[in-house]
Amino acid sequence: MLHIMFENSDQSKTDLSELGEFGLIDHLTKSFNITPEFTLKGIGDDAAVLDFKEEKVIVTTDLLVEGVHFDLSYMPLKHLGYKAVMVNLSDVYAMNATPRQITVSIAVSNRFPVEALEELYAGIKLASKLYKVDVVGGDTSSSTSGLIISVTALGGAKEEEVVYRSGAKTNDLLVVTGDLGAAYMGLQVLEREKQVFKVNPKNQPDLDPYTYLIERQLKPEARKDIPPLFKALEVKPTSMIDISDGLSSEVIHLCKNSKTGVNLFEEKIPLDPAVISVCEEFQLDSTTIALSGGEDYELLFTIDQGDYDKIKGNPNFTVIGHMTEEAEGMHLVTRANQKIPLIARGWNAMDKKEDKK
Ligand code: ADP
Ligand code: MG
């Protein structure tokens, strides 16, 4: 049975002041190793020294703020650490590049004990191990309110391999990896259970039917398999973006950057059966959730029509539409074969918390 803690459990509490800033940094980072091939110097000097050989350097950063981007009452700190790394690695893969290093900066209030930060760093360490990136630095500060965590990822790619948002052409196929909407519905389930928990803290919910959705929300995985798959299939996407804010806004980003229009087919949008059933339960339209839900961390890309045979039948990919002339506009073609204008509704617009993101 899937158990979610609706409060981070910190049985033992060591006050942050007991270690001091330098002691804390040392304590949290002492077990981080480096890959000598790409990292000449990691944590411990004034700056890290990196080696990208003949590759171009890809850099991306994301800031996560407690109460805005995450809620610690149902986000275990280990998961938060893991997710903070994933959101950045996803951006590196979306450039068709390989992540090599990350830096991690945190601001914490003294309501967090050392044990809480150990949990956070356990998640960061697990992510860096599984995704083969070195933690090469960061910064540590105190915060007067919540927890703030900023991760920067560095990656490498040969110049000719880099894929931008801007390369899509008319008639290119629009393709997505995986399935959409699950992370958003996982959040809905967690929010609902949190409300139940507030009323009756003894009630341990049975979340088994929602395992996939909750995992997609709490433990997203960046698509590290996709850039090497492109290489193996000898396909280079003409444009690419990762899906962090919902399919519709990402499709619009590709169109605007590439100066194209699009026809996106509702019936093609890949949905997991668990998303379809939970949408029925919550009386939500699953297409709307896939279009606007966000946090899927799948990749959305375009390929030349001539490359279709190379991706055809691959279970990682679903063709969901094609690019058109810019003047034709951006449309969703519904199951009833109606063409409706595609509008950007990131998950911020859907959420009750107005200032989300
Ligand atoms: P400086 O005074 O030059 O900012 P710090 O004492 O803040 O140096 O950091 C010492 C070393 O520890 C540096 O290598 C820095 O990148 C690293 N570091 C500091 N905070 C963190 C953190 N939260 N996570 C990982 N590395 C950190
Ligand atoms: Mg510092």
Q: Which domains does the chain have, with CATH numbers?
A: 16-161 (3.30.1330.10), 173-350 (3.90.650.10)
Q: How far is the CA of 58 from the centre of ligand 1 (A)?
A: 22
pLDDT tens, residue order, the chain (357 aa): 555 656 565 567 899 889 988 899 999 999 999 999 999 999 999 999 999 999 999 999 999 999 999 999 889 999 999 999 999 999 999 999 999 999 999 999 988 999 999 999 999 999 999 999 999 999 999 999 899 999 999 999 999 999 999 999 999 999 999 999 999 999 999 999 988 888 888 877 788 899 999 999 999 999 999 999 999 999 999 999 999 999 999 999 999 999 999 999 999 999 999 999 999 999 999 999 999 999 999 999 999 999 999 999 999 999 999 999 999 999 999 999 999 999 876 544 344 444 333
| pLDDT for position 349 | 38
Annotated binding-site members for ATP: 121, 138-139, 165, 244
Nearest ligand to the C-alpha atom of residue 25: 1
- Among protein residues, the one with the nearest Cα to ligand 1's atom 16 is 137
Task: Put the strands of the sheet holding 148-157 in their side by side order.
Answer: 56-65, 148-157, 98-108, 134-142
For residue 354 the two structure tokens come to 């107005």
- Among protein residues, the one with the nearest Cα to ligand 1's atom 8 is 46
| pLDDT for position 352 | 43
The closest-lying atom of ligand 1 relative to the alpha carbon of residue 21 is 6
| pLDDT for position 205 | 75
| pLDDT for position 106 | 97
**Tally of residues, the chain:** 357
- Among protein residues, the one with the nearest Cα to ligand 1's atom 20 is 139
| pLDDT for position 347 | 46
| Global model pTM greater than 0.85 | yes
| pLDDT for position 200 | 85
For residue 293 the two structure tokens come to 């839900």
Q: How far is the CA of 140 from the centre of ligand 2 (A)?
A: 6
Which stretch of DSSP H or E encloses residue 348? helix 347-350
| Bridge partner residues of 149 (DSSP) | 64, 106
| pLDDT for position 198 | 83
Asked if 165 and 91 touch (Cβ cutoff 8 Å), the reply is no
CA 193 to chain centre: 23
Residue 255: how many CB atoms within 10 A of its CB?
Answer: 24
| pLDDT for position 211 | 96
| pLDDT for position 55 | 98
Ligand 1: which of 43, 152, 154 to mutate, most ligand atoms within 8 Å of CB? Answer: 43
